Amino acid sequence: MAIPFLTFSAMSTRLPGYVMIAAPAIFIIQAWFWFLVRDRLSGITNRLVRAGGVVLLVFLAALPARYLLEPSSVFEKRDRHPLETRELEQLSARLQLFDAVIFNIPTPIEAMSYSPYIAYGHFPTAEDVDRVHAAGLPVVIYEPAGTTVDVPPNWNAIVLRQVD
Distance of CA 150 to the CA centre of its chain: 28
Residue 157 neighbours by CB distance under 10 Å: 20
pLDDT in tens, 2-18: 777 777 777 766 566 66
160 forms beta bridges with 142
Q: How confident is the model at residue 94 (pLDDT cuts 50, 70, 90)?
A: very high
pLDDT in tens, 31-73: 999 999 999 998 888 999 999 999 999 999 888 777 667 666 5
Cα 36 to Cα 96: distance, rounded to the nearest angstrom: 57
pTM for this prediction = 0.57
pLDDT in tens, 111-158: 998 899 999 999 999 999 999 999 999 999 999 988 888 899 899 999
